[in-house]
Structure 1
Amino acid sequence: MKRVLFVCTGNTCRSPMAEAILRKKAGESIEVKSAGIFASDGSPASTNTAHVLQEKGIECQHSSSLLTQDLIEWATCILTMTSHHKQAILHSFPEAQDKVFTLKEYVDSDGDVSDPFGGPVDIYRETYAELEPLIEKVLSKLK
C-alpha cells in the first residue's frame, strides 16, 4: 500500500489540508499522514483550515506532529509544500532522498504552495483551490 506523508512548517495549515483532501479522495486505497519540520505535537489544525475543509465537506480530526525518523521510514512518498521543506528533510534525513519531492515537483509543476498562515479565511480558500487540483494529480500518479 502507498503511504503518503505531507510536510510543511508547523503542520497546522497546508499539510493537514493536503492530508485531508487526499484521504477524502483516496478512501482506503492510500494511507496518508502529515507532519511539520518545526511542529509542536498535539496542536489542532488552524481554525481557518478546519473551516475551509468543513465548507468542502471534508472532516478534519487533526493533531499536529513533528517530523520524525519513524514518519520518514513509514512513508513511501514524502511531499513537501516548499523547496525549503524538501531541503530541510534531506539535510536531516539524507536516506530519504529517493522519496522526497515538493508537491508541485511530484506532479510536474514549478514553485511552492502558498502559505496561508495567519491570513483571513479567503487566503485559506485560495490555498485549498491551489492544493485540490495538485492532490488530484498525485492521486492519478499513485494509482
Structure 2
Amino acid sequence: MHRVLFVCTGNTCRSPMAEAILKSKNHEGVEVRSAGVYAMDGASASSNSITVMNENSITHNHQSSLLTRADVEWATVILAMTLSHKQAIISNFPQASSKTFTLKAFAGEDGYPDVSDPYGGDVDVYRATFAELERLIDKAMSRLLKK
C-alpha cells in the first residue's frame, strides 16, 4: 500500500488539486491525502481550484487541514509543492526526512523545484497549475508504482 500525502501552504489550492487528481486516477493500492504547513482547518478549496476540477470532471470534497504528526506517520511518501514546504516538513518532523520530496524531484524533473502557485491568480493561472500537477503526478506515480 502506498499512502501519498501532498503538502502546500494553506491546503486550498495546489495540494487539494493534487489530491483530487491522484484520487481520480484510481490507482490500486494507492491512498492519498493533503495538508498544509500553515493551513487553517476546515476551509474549502479555493473557488478557482473548484472551477478547474469541475472543468476536468474530477470529484472533490475538500476541507483544509494543518499538517500533523498523524499525517506524517500515515504517509509512506510526502510530496511537497515547493522546496520551502519540504524544508518546513523536515524541520517540524525530522523523522520524515527520508520520505519527503518535492513533487518535481520525485517526478524526476530537474531545474526549478517548485510547482507554480496559483494563489490570487485568475482561473487561467489555476488551469496552468492543474496541468502542471497532472503531468507531474503521472510521472511521480510511474516511479512510485514501479517500486
What's the secondary structure of 1:26's corresponding residue? coil
Q: Distance in 2 between matches of 1:108 and 1:28?
A: 22
Residues 97-112 of structure 1 mapped to structure 2, 5 A cutoff: 97-110=97-110, 111-112=113-114
- Runs of 4+ aligned structure 1 residues displaced above 4 Å come to none
Match of 1:80 in 2: 80
**Structure 2 residues not aligned, in runs of 5+:** none
State the Cα distance separating 1:133 from its structure 2 match: 0.8
Match of 1:141 in 2: 143
1:129 equivalenced with 2:131 (yes/no) = yes
Q: Distance in 2 between matches of 1:29 and 1:139?
A: 11
TM-superposition CA deviations, 1:29-52 (whole Å, max 9, x none): 310000000000000000000100
- Aligned residue pairs total 143
Q: Which amino acid aligns with 1:37?
A: V
Match of 2:7 in 1: 7
State the Cα distance separating 1:57 from its structure 2 match: 0.5
TM-score after normalising by structure 2: 0.95
What's the secondary structure of 2:25's corresponding residue? helix
- Alpha-carbon RMSD across the aligned residues, in angstroms, is 0.9
Q: Distance in 1 between matches of 2:27 and 2:144?
A: 13
Q: Is the 8 A contact 1:26 1:139 kept in 2?
A: no
Q: Distance in 2 between matches of 1:26 and 1:134?
A: 16
Q: Distance in 1 between matches of 2:144 and 2:109?
A: 16
TM-superposition CA deviations, 1:6-37 (whole Å, max 9, x none): 00000000000000000111345310000000
**Structure 1 residues not aligned, in runs of 5+:** none
Q: Which amino acid aligns with 2:77?
A: C
